[in-house]
Structures are given as structure tokens and as C-alpha cells.
Amino acid sequence: MNQSVISLQQKLLKTSLWSSVLAGAIALCLLFALSAYQTMDTQDAIMDEIADLLMAQQQPSQSSQTIAELSKEFDISYVVQHKHRILARSELEDQHDQTSFDSNRMAKGYGFYWQDMQLWRSYKQTESDSQREVLMLQPMQERVELLLQSVLGYAAVLLLLWGLQWVLLKVLMKRDFAVIHQFSEQISFKNSKELSPIDASQPAIMELEPIRLQLNSLMQRLERALEAEHRFTADASHELRSPLSAIQMRLQVLGRKYQDHPQLAKEMLAIQQDVSRGTQVLENLLLLARLDPSNVEDLPKTKVDVQALTERVLMDYQESLKQRQLMLETKLEPVVIEANEELLQICLRNLIDNAVKYTPVLGAIHIQLSQQRAHFYWQIDNSSEGIDEKVIQHFGERFYRVLGSQVQGNGLGLSICKKIVELHQGQIKFSVSDLGGLKVLIEF
């Protein structure tokens, strides 16, 4: 199951920025409401001021320059009338200069007036003594434009501030998260040979300290476990080498003692070769126990002729193949790779030995070796009465054996092969063969 991966840095950046955007948007809405109220109040006050000036004139037909400037600047049209007779009117050049003022439709004081397919702000002031009245109209579009100019200016500044905030947040978070990246690099450098404690950053980050302390504690326990494993490996190596060395020496003595008996000397030589092979296998198994798949550079490698190596291993099984009447089919191409020859030989020997043991009498074994570009493939198939795919899933696990199997073994062969392949940065795959048995494919 794939798990989604998120960036904490990006998440914090987005959270901070969106919080600022939300706060700014709320502030913009409040400013819009406040500006709308102030614009309406200011424009209404101007209309009232013009009306007062008009009422104060003795001859309304001669409007003062102040009234004319205010009327033109704020797009306000007006008429002064007495008993529906116009005494004075504004002199605007736009379309509402000729607007008809219907006193009956206009409410006293401030109101809204729909005319000529648009909304107007109206104002009506009446002088009870002289029965004069001032009627004023201003298109709401004028007020909306003033409001938008104010709000859009603030919005532009807000967008600029958001952009600056994004840049600052990105720079500052990158600087602050550099400590986490440094912490990650320190962890990545740790391996079985480097388990020294991770030093605290300066200044130390409180949220990272528990993780650092737990990692240091874990590495201390791991270091003690590795030391115990190395001591066990050294002790086991000594205890196993000593008997094999003693057997080898006694065989040499017996070989010299019975050198006049050719048949016995031949048997002694075969036993010596088996002991030497056992000693070599022991050395490689101890090497395998010491090596870590993550430190493949520690593995000694040479150029290995895989075709010749496979043929040499098969020579040791000619007698077993004849006894069990097994049909061996090989298709080996010349392949030379960089590998540890002894470990690769152990791997191939285990796989061939496994196939010979588990193939029934009169069965078949197929071995193929091929190379495609930079990769080489070694494959072995054996016939059988059938194998469960659920069982195959456990192949490669240590000490795993198929229940009910009559073949002797310790369940380590395939697990050793798997680790050898991993040490060479290759892949080993187990599946059901077309022959009915097990198919093992190694890819380097």
C-alpha cells in the first residue's frame, strides 16, 4: 500500500500564507463595508452642503463658483424651484444634466431614485417659509467608483504584501529547516561502522531533541549487539577451524604413511579436498556473517567467468544426476562479471543442490545463463509434482522448510543465496516453473 508523503516545510508555508490571506480577505471585507459607509456619509454631507448654499443665496439663478465646482467634481445635479417653477439648475455637460426632477417621487431628505435604467442618490430640502425646495440627484455609479478606487488600492497593496510574505516565509523556513536537513544527513551517514552519537544542533531545537536522544540510545544498543555478534563470530570461527585443521593435519600424516597404497591415497586425497572445501565454505560463511548488504564496497571482487563456474559446480553433481536418472539441460552463454567468486560458487552450488534433491527420479533440470546489455540472468528450473505459490512466498527465509518434505536439510540454503545476491546488489526471484517445480532467477 503506497503511503502519501507530504512536505512539512511546504505545509507550514501554505498554512502560514493561507492564514494571512484569510485574515487579509476578512480585513478587506471590513474595509469595504467601512469605506462604503464613509463614502455614503461623505457624499451625503456634500449634497447637504450644496443644498444649504443654494438655500442661502438670495438669487438662486446666480450660483456661486463653489457650488458649481462641487457639483461638477462630484457629478451632482440639482434644481431650485418654487411652486414647481425652476429658479436655478446645475450646468453639467453629461447625460443627467437634463434629468427630470420629479418632486412628488422624491422623498424628503435622503433616498434612492431609479431613473434612466440606473440608480441615483436623491436629496430633497424644503424651506417652509419661502416654499422653495432643492432637489438633488447623484448617480450611485459615482460613489461606487470612488469606493472601488479606495478598496482596489488597498487590495493591490495587500497582494504586494502577500507576495513579500511568501518570499520571506520561504527564505526563513528554508534557513530554519536547514537544521532538520543537517540532522537527516547526520543520520544518513550512520552505518555498522559509524555509530557515534549525533551531536545536538546549535542552537538545539526542542522538538528534535527527543528524536536525537532516542536515536543515540538506539545506536548504542545496536553497537553493543554488533560487538556481541562479532565476538560470537570470532569464537565460532576459532571453534570450527580448529577441528577442521586437526582433521586436515591427520589426513596429511595418513597420506604420507599410506602413500604406498594408491587406492587408499586416492580416497585420502578426496577426503582432503572435502575438508578443504568445508574450510573454504566456513570462511565464506563467516565472511557472509560479517558483511552488511549496505556496505557492498567491503566485498572483495574479481572477474568471474559465470559459465565456467557453473560447469565446474555441475561436475560435482554428475554422479548424483546419474543415480537419480535426471535429465540435465543447459544453455550457457559466455558471461564475465565482477563478483566474489567463492560466494557466487556457494550460491550456485546451493541452488543446483536444491534442484537435484527436490527433483523426483527421471525428472528434468534446466539451467540457463544469458546476458542482455549490462545485466546477466542465471536461471534454474526443476520438474516436480507441483508446488504451492503460498509456500514460495516463504523461500529465502532462514530455517524455513516445507512441511512433510522427506529431503534432509537445515532451511538455510536459499536464505544464504538470497543474502549473497543482495551483497552483489542483485535480485533473486522464486516462482513456479513451467516444469512444475521451482524456478529461481538471479539478475545482476
Q: Is the pLDDT of residue 298 over 70?
A: no
Give residue 95's pLDDT band: very low, low, confident or very high (50, 70, 90): very low
Residue recorded with cell 526443476: 382
Pairing of strands 132-139, 118-127: antiparallel
Distance of CA 108 to the CA centre of its chain: 70
Q: Which has the higher per-residue pLDDT, 351 or 403?
A: 351
3-state secondary structure of 117: coil
Distances (CA, A) of 427 to 377, 398, 442: 10, 17, 6
Q: Is the pLDDT of residue 412 over 70?
A: no
Q: What percent of the chain has pLDDT over 90?
A: 4
Mean pLDDT, the chain, as a whole number? 80
- Measured between alpha carbons, how far is 93 from 233 in angstroms, rounded to an integer? 105
Q: Provide the b/e sequence for 3-30 (b: ≥16 CB within 10 Å).
A: eeeeeebeeebeeeeeebeeebeeeeee
Give residue 366's pLDDT band: very low, low, confident or very high (50, 70, 90): very high
Q: What was the pLDDT predicted at 90?
A: 77
Q: Taking residues 33-50, report their average pLDDT.
A: 88
Dihedral pair phi/psi, residue 303, rounded to 5°: -75, 125
Helix (H) or strand (E) holding 186: helix 140-188
Could you read off the pLDDT of 417-432 as tens digits, one per residue?
Answer: 888 888 888 888 888 8
Could you read off the pLDDT of 20-35 as tens digits, one per residue?
Answer: 889 988 988 998 899 8
Point out the least confidently predicted range of 9-23, 97-111, 323-337, 347-361.
97-111
AA identity, residue 103: S
Does this model's pTM top 0.85?
Answer: no
Q: Are 13 and 173 in contact (CB under 8 A)?
A: yes
Q: Is the pLDDT of residue 99 over 60?
A: no
3-state secondary structure of 305: strand
Point out the least confidently predicted range of 204-208, 238-242, 262-266.
238-242
Could you read off the pLDDT of 107-139 as tens digits, one per residue?
Answer: 788 888 887 788 888 888 887 776 788 888 888
Q: What was the pLDDT predicted at 254?
A: 79
